[in-house]
Amino acid sequence: MKARLCLALAGLLLLTTAGATFSVADEGMWTFDNPPLKQLQEKYGFTPTKAWLDHVRLSSVRFNDGGSGSFVSPNGLTITNHHVAFGQLQKLSTAGKDYVKDGFHAKTQAEELKCPDLELNVLLSMENVTSQVQGTVKPGMTEKQALDARNAEKAKIQKESLDKTGLRSDVVTLYAGGEYWLYRYKKYTDVRLVFAPEQQTAFFGGDPDNFTFPRYDLDFALLRVYENGRPGVTKDYLKWNTKGAPDGELVFVSGNPGGTDRGQTIAQLEAARDVIYPERLARFKRELQALRTYAAKGSEQARQSADEIFGLENTVKAYTGEYNGLLDPKLFEKKKKAESDLRAKVQGDPEWRREYGSAWDAIAAATKKEGEVTKLQQNRSISTASGMARFARQIVVYAAEVKKPDAQRLDGYHDSQLDELKFYLLSPAPVYPEYEEALLAWSLQESLDQLGPNDPFIKAVLDGRKPADVAAQVIRGSKMADPAFRKSLVEGGEAGVAASTDPLIALARKVDPFFRETRKMYEESVESVFESAGEKIAKARFAIYGKSIYPDATFTLRLTYGKVQGYPMNGTKAPSKTTFYGLYDRAASFDYKAPFNLTQRFMQRKDRIDLSTPLDFVASLDIIGGNSGSPVINRNGDFVGIIFDGNIESLTGNFDYIEDTNRAVAVHSAAIIEALRKVYDAGSVANELEGK
């Protein structure tokens, strides 16, 4: 479930959301300033206190490369999914030592391995800055001017907060422009690996079983945050409850859903169905094909590309499910009704009509341009696949932006964002030039195929040469794989970048105008319209429904609630949990053939395990990609499990939550303890979790 968000961060997820939905059933990804107290009291007779909410929030951890987690001991022990930690496991591995395949277990603290470029965030405070941001927009401004004004104001707020508190400070856009909040985070950048099972155990069933249930995965990993070279003191952590949550129990998830499109207008949904999803899916599949071709070259190539292949398979499956949702006429009918109800109410009030009435048509008009601009953005780029090319592009942009007054810079290059940028640019994680060359060659070929030979970008980049030849020339001649080289460029400023003879930097300089031009096109014709119309629609909703609504997901901390429960499936019932029996059944049912094979350890230690121990479970929790690794919490605030997936029915959750069948899939707390003690001889880790 993670890769969608990774892609969002890489700039591909361009669907902007235009609103919010309001709550029925166990629905909603609620901000911590607006928890669903009424629904919880009415449906479950439970009202979380402020202390409960604060404790849960401060125990929750965001994994900035696209996932969630939580503190599970007072000594900084942090749990997330194996698939969230996958990238770091791969970066820590070498051709001879494969922690992805073999797992990892630090028997002592000294053996804990430092992750090369992992940043974790804990949300310390939230401050409503809506009036400040919206107030910068003056009458008579164009929508692009309004967007620039808001962005400048956001940058200012962030910088002031950073200067004042030293904390990571992000101004977050909620309700598609209806609200702006200043979120301050405590940051951890020294994060060390404590334990990870073998990938085959964490991801048993592979791509076929991904996004499905019943499920038999031990998808967890343990890390530890360090401060000043010592284990972090995490006063707020979730108490481990090995009994888990029984069938029917109220549970919560606190985590960071990456993005949803529930507030989209009908025009946007139709564009998604008819243009955006079909094109994007086709592109993903082509990229996956290229990655598989590379992986087929040998075991080392397979190892290098494993995380990316996993992520892209995950994305293709998720998008396919979402696309199927869009093809469902029932979903559209429901959405159409909600929109026409809202619009009728707006039309029925003269003031609302004047203030908000134009928003839907404005969005519909911008939506028509969105597909075309998005296609240009994707293809007039060298950095949609290759990480080395992305380094080069960002260094070139950085050198130019950092010279400007903070408020005028592109988003991502504000003073308050430079730490994060440099953390990424200077990462010591290994880079594999052969792999990078394959990826760049693919993306250049893709650009050529999509844009044609006469596009100015293609002429500038290829100049009649073949994509593979250009990729070979710039990657083989580049030192971009070396963090020290990148450091020298970052420190060398604009003059250094301008003088660099590195062929990848030269290429990045050449494409920089295209990057800026397409970005400007997007801002002018799409983003600024969406944001100003989004603000109107959000205000209409607030006026009509009050704050009984929640904003679309934005990879910020949210609270969601639901019940441990099965659901109707494939003509019968899916239970609310699985057991270790089921793991052995599914493996034997497929004659132990991959991806249903078991590790030697699990084959040998079968008789030690209490096979009736719960393994995975489902609950009617409203989550989505980015929530991976989120803790499942009971009303006492105990840790009872860890989210790692949604069922296939949940994929339409990007657009709509359907309580009957939408289920989040989690690893049961008992399974983790059983495996640590009986399979992995990791009793001391289990003891730390259980507070023994």
Tell whether residue 247 is a contact of a second copy (CB under 8 A): yes
Number of residues near a second copy (by CB under 8 A): 34
Per CB under 8 A, 565 contacts a second copy: no
The binder of a second copy chosen from 76, 214, 534, 625 (CB under 8 A):
214
3-class SS at 81?
coil
Amino acid at position 45, single letter: G
Of 386, 477, 486, the C-alpha closest to 427 is 486
H-helix or E-strand containing 44? Answer: helix 37-44
* Most distant CA atoms of the chain, gap in Å: 75
Q: Least separation, in Å, of the C-beta of 281 and a second copy?
A: 16
Nearer to a second copy, 24 or 588 (CB): 588
DSSP-assigned letters across all residues of 179-228: EEEEEEEEEE-EEEEEEE--HHHHTTTHHHHTT-SS------EEEEEEET
Q: Which stretch binds a second copy (CB under 8 A): 170-178, 202-210, 262-270, 336-344?
A: 202-210
Residues from 309 through 328 that contact a second copy (CB under 8 A): 317, 321
Of 84 and 574, which has the nearer Cβ to a second copy? 574
Decide if residue 571 touches a second copy (CB under 8 A): yes
74 binds a second copy, rule: CB under 8 A: no
Considering only 24, 95, 588, 603, the residue that binds a second copy (CB under 8 A) is: 588
CA–CA dist 497, 506 (Å, integer): 9
Residue 575 in the binding site for a second copy (CB under 8 A)? yes
Question: In DSSP terms, which residues pair with 190 in a beta bridge?
Answer: 226
Please identify, among the stretches 381-389, 394-402, 479-487, 575-583, the one whose residues bind a second copy according to the rule CB under 8 A.
575-583
Of 590, 605, 659, 690, which lies in the binding site for a second copy, with binding defined by CB under 8 A? 590
Alpha carbon distances (Å) from 573 to 215, 579, 623, 652, 658: 14, 16, 21, 20, 16
Q: How far is the CB of 536 from a second copy (least distance, A)?
A: 38
DSSP E strands, 620-673: 631-633, 639-646, 664-668
Binding residues among 36-55 for a second copy as defined by CB under 8 A = none
Task: Give CA 557 to chain center in angstroms.
Answer: 12
Q: Which H or E run contains 111?
A: none
CA 218, CA 642: separation in Å to the nearest integer?
10
- Residue 604, judged by CB atoms within 10 A of its CB (0-12, 13-18, 19+), counts as exposed
Strands 614-619 and 577-579: antiparallel
Comparing CB distances to a second copy, the nearer of 503 and 646 is: 646
Applying CB under 8 A, does 605 fall inside the site for a second copy? no
Both structure tokens of 10: 């890489």
611 near a second copy, judged by CB under 8 A = yes
- Comparing C-alpha atoms, which of 568, 35, 560 is closest to residue 251? 560
* Chain-centroid distance, C-alpha 13: 10
Cβ distance to a second copy smaller for residue 46 or 592 = 592
Write down the least CB distance from residue 264 to a second copy, Å: 24
The DSSP bridge pattern shows strands 190-196 and 577-579 to be unpaired
Q: Residue 614, by phi and psi: left (phi above 0), alpha (psi -120 to 50) or beta?
A: beta
Q: Under the criterion CB under 8 A, does residue 647 sit at the interface with a second copy?
A: yes
Give the pairing type, strands 120-128 and 221-227.
unpaired
Judged by CB under 8 A, which of 569, 597, 677, 690 binds a second copy? 569
Nearer to a second copy (CB atom), residue 180 or residue 617: 617
Q: How far apart are the first and last CA of the chain?
A: 33
Per CB under 8 A, the list member of 189, 212, 450, 548 interacting with a second copy is 212
Residue 648 or 672 with smaller CB distance to a second copy: 648
**Position 377 contacts a second copy (CB under 8 A):** no
Minimum CB distance to a second copy smaller for 361 or for 610: 610
Is 674 a binding residue for a second copy by CB under 8 A? The answer is no
Name, in order, each residue with C-beta under 8 angstroms of 429's C-beta and a sequence gap of 6 or more.
91, 116, 117
Among positions 156, 273, 280, 577, the unique one binding a second copy when judged by CB under 8 A: 577
Give the angle subtended at the CA of 244 by the CAs of 239 and 246, to the nearest 5°.
140
Angstrom CA distances, 16 to 366, 374, 531, 534, 582, stand at 11, 12, 9, 10, 41
| Interface with a second copy (CB under 8 A), residue from 289, 293, 340, 589 | 589
Residue recorded with tokens 């950095």: 383
Answer for which of 254, 525, 578, 662 binds a second copy (CB under 8 A) is 578
Smallest distance from a second copy to CB 209, Å: 5
Q: Is 598 in the site for a second copy (CB under 8 A)?
A: no
Least gap, CB of 315 to a second copy (angstroms): 15
When asked if residue 572 is in the footprint of a second copy (CB under 8 A), the reply is yes
Q: Does 244 bind a second copy (CB under 8 A)?
A: no
Sole window of 149-157, 159-167, 207-215, 391-399 interacting with a second copy (rule: CB under 8 A): 207-215
Stretch that binds a second copy, among 40-48, 99-107, 444-452, 569-577 (CB under 8 A): 569-577
- Asked if residue 134 binds a second copy (CB under 8 A), the reply is no
Cα 44 versus chain centre, distance: 30
Contact between 103 and a second copy by CB under 8 A: the answer reads no
Site string for a second copy, 258-297 (x = CB under 8 A): ----------------------------------------
- Taking CB under 8 A as the rule, does residue 544 contact a second copy? no
Q: Which helix (H) or strand (E) holds 679?
A: none
Q: Residue 209, interface with a second copy (CB under 8 A)?
A: yes
Among 5, 123, 632, 648, binds a second copy (CB under 8 A): 648
DSSP state of 114: E
Query: Quick one: DSSP state of residue 262?
Result: T
Q: Which of 135, 208, 428, 683 binds a second copy (CB under 8 A)?
A: 208
Nearer to a second copy, 223 or 251 (CB): 251
- Tell me the window of 77-85, 377-385, 439-447, 570-578 that interacts with a second copy (CB under 8 A): 570-578
Written as one letter, the residue type at 524 is E
Given the DSSP bridges, would you call strands 664-668 and 639-646 parallel, antiparallel or unpaired? antiparallel
Contacts with a second copy by CB under 8 A lie at 205, 208-212, 214, 247, 317, 321, 569-573, 575-579, 581-582, 584-586, 588-591, 596, 611-612, 647-648
